[in-house]
Amino acid sequence: MAERSDLDILADLDLEPLEERKSAISSRDARIIAGFEDIQKFVEQHGRPPQHGEGNDIFERIYAVRLDRLRSQPDCVKLLADMDHQGLLSDTAIVENEPAELEDAEILAALGIVSEAETDITTLRYVRSAAEIQAAEEIAERTRCENFEDFEELFKVVKSDLDNGERQTRRFERKSEIEQGRFFILDGVTAYVAEEGEEFTNASGNRDKRLRVIYDNGTESNLLARSLQKALTQDPAGRRITEPDAGPLFNKDGQIDGRETGTIYVLRSLSERPEIAEMHNVLHKIGVTGGDVEKRIVNAAKDPTFLMAPVEIVETFKLYDINRVALENLLHRFLATARLNVKITDRLGLKIQPREWFVVPFDVIVDIVDRIKDGTLHEYVYRPDEARLVRSVQ
């Protein structure tokens, strides 16, 4: 008996053979869906959409570029609408005449990264040394700065100084420029050296030290000075931000032959709060007023700017033909790294953070005034860890 085919058997059962179904999803659509699923997994793991930024992981940056492209293409939004349970495509910005698809190689190229597939195996390529890889990793390992509010005002002051020309940016040149209290520009972000550890000798016999660096995007990193030096050197746009120029605030020779325009006052707190009392000899309020200092402090015990406590006058310095507002701003910028970090509750229960109290010995304050008089303050920085002025590198 001849072997019967499947078609014969189907005919006996009055059944029609099913036509082979063609896939309803093109290879392009499949890639788009797979790419979107990668973005969704990222959101599930991190609780937020991927974001752009040099400090972010390369995969997050790729996902961010990809998501922007998907949002901009109406056909992609339509394709992914049913699976967008996280609402990632809800705020779409439809752009006309966008390319139909952005390949991973194009994304990498947009981020300045060359695909391995584009290099020939016979072509010698530069391979980073272990030290360079470690430096790059240390720079990249930035974490959220938990007390960024303590530094936020500093970045605003620096930006203002740059805008009005009181500070300039210069090409970074040498490691000796890296010191506590200095500002730099790295990867387009302003970096502030907030703390530095003791110097030590590394395995190569070079002097180094550990730094805490705060960035104006609210992140921070703990890295070696030599790692920061290498990153600034290799960054074509790496810059050092100079200290503000004090300018000729006093007439030369310190002669008093002009019109009295105000007074620099130095006060000491008589607060009994333990954290204030223990700094009695080094904590000072420094300000400039055009009025009478004695009258200004009468109600100190009721004023949060005076720490809600009586104060005593340590010293006053008369000003002649000087813009007292500019001078006070200068003093506070210069001592910003030594500003007291404390919040005081006023009579209404509101938390106030005083801005004119600094942890600085009185003899240093006198030294600062002398440097203003002779026009050389811009050549110095205040080092809180050493409690003295140190000549800066210009």
> Which sequence spans correspond to the domains of the chain?
27-118, 130-241, 252-391
**CA distance readout (Å), 207 to 168, 224, 225, 226:** 29, 10, 9, 9
How far is it between the farthest Cα atoms of the chain?
130
Alpha-carbon span 247 to 374, nearest angstrom? 10
**CA distance readout (Å), 54 to 126, 135, 191:** 22, 15, 13
Alpha helices (runs of H) in the chain, residue ranges in sequence order: 6-12, 27-46, 58-72, 74-80, 104-110, 130-140, 149-164, 225-234, 274-277, 293-296, 324-334, 362-373
Quote the pLDDT of residue 13: 59
**CA distance readout (Å), 246 to 218, 284, 326:** 29, 21, 9
Quote the pLDDT of residue 122: 39
Task: Report CA torsion sign: 290, 293, 297, 298.
Answer: negative
pTM of the model: 0.40
Quote the pLDDT of residue 132: 47
Cβ atoms of 246 and 330 closer than 8 Å: yes
Q: Which CATH number fits domain 130-241: 3.40.50.10440, 3.90.1580.10, 2.30.30.30, 2.40.320.10?
A: 2.30.30.30
Chain position carrying tokens 């490691």: 175
Quick one: angle between helices 324-334 and 362-373, nearest 10?
A: 130
Quote the pLDDT of residue 208: 87
The residue ranges of the chain whose pLDDT is under 50 are: 20-23, 92-102, 110-129, 131-133, 135-137, 246-257, 394
Cβ atoms of 358 and 340 closer than 8 Å: yes
